Every structure is written in C-alpha cells, then in structure tokens.
Amino acid sequence: MAQTTNDIKNGSVLNLDGQLWTVTKFQHVKPGKGPAFVRTTIKNVLTGKIVDKTFNAGMKMEFETVDNRTLQYSYEDGDSFVFMDMTTYDQVSIPKDMVGEQSKFLLEGTDCIISFHDGNPLSVELPASVILEVTHTEPGVQGNRSNAGTKPATVETGAEIQVPLFVGEGEHVKVDTRDGSYLGREN
C-alpha cells in the first residue's frame, strides 16, 4: 500500500533523496483558495540538521521504519563503544564518532536509546542528564559560599565541567549530557 503525505505523523521517518529525516512537527493546511498542503519540520537522522519543508497533500512518500531500542553501555573497545541489549544479551559495537561529544558523559551501565535502520545503527541518544562523581576539584575559597562563582571539576568519566564553589571532591553531581552544564548536587 502506497503511503502519502496524509499519513505523516510526529516520529515518522521519511526517505528524501536517499537521506533519512524524522518528522518533529507537522500541520495539515487547507487554505480557502488553492490545494491543501502539509507543512513539516524535519530533522536529518544522521547529521541532526533541522529544516522546514512543505509537501502537497496526497503526494506519494517513501516512509522508512526505524527501530529505537534501549541498550546499556558496557565498555570502550578501540574505535567503538560496545552496548548490550538487556533482553537478548546481544552486543552491538557503535563507532565513537556516532556518539560524538556526549561520550565524555558515558558511564558503564548507562541506558541509551539507539536508532537502527535495516539493522544498522543510525544514532545514539544518551539520557538528558547523568549523575557523576566529582573526582578532582580545587577547594572553594573559605567564606565564598554563594552561588556566584564557579570552578572547574573533573568527573569520574574524565570530563571537565564547571561547578559552584561549594562542590567538593567525592560529591555526586547531576550533569546535562547535551551541553555539560551543572544541574545540581545528588545525595
């Protein structure tokens, strides 16, 4: 059965000119004059580029199936990271460049969402935040206990983040995996 632009939903994956795009927003528009159309915001699965695209209503489209699976990070192996499917215990190697800058917040045992198309991994999504232990930081200046200043701190994965002056070594902090910002202390 052929699919058309009328079948577009949030999360649909379209094959446009050989590239995979995920629909993040869509709107069916029926103007008073002229034909109906579908206005979409789509994101390139591989590059993350976001564009707005308009399609004529009823136009035939090529939809793809993308399988999102939750896999647990196991270990680093040369140029790749190894993840395990906790239901089948299958291990999947993902190239380091696919994980990118987020890899500095990847801790053993972290559950990540990995998208697959035809059995090939497309992208890795870490949780929005992780809790990491501070392994090294300079002591805060005595008497300077407000939230006004920050200092560099190294966390257990080796990443360096900025934390408030009152955070010390051995404490657990919540870190945003998208930009490495400090979100708070955890007990």
Q: Which domains does the chain have, with CATH numbers?
A: 3-64 (2.30.30.30), 67-125 (2.40.50.140), 129-186 (2.40.50.140)
pTM over 0.85: no
Average pLDDT over residues 149-175: 90
pLDDT at 165 over 90: no
**Local confidence band at 148 (pLDDT 50, 70, 90 cut-offs):** low
**Local confidence band at 97 (pLDDT 50, 70, 90 cut-offs):** confident
pLDDT at 124 over 80: yes
Average pLDDT over residues 149-170: 90
Reported as a single tens digit per residue, the pLDDT across 99-111 is 888 889 998 999 9
pLDDT at 145 over 60: no
User: Are the beta carbons of 35 and 56 closer than 8 angstroms?
Assistant: yes
Task: For the chain, give the mean pLDDT.
Answer: 87
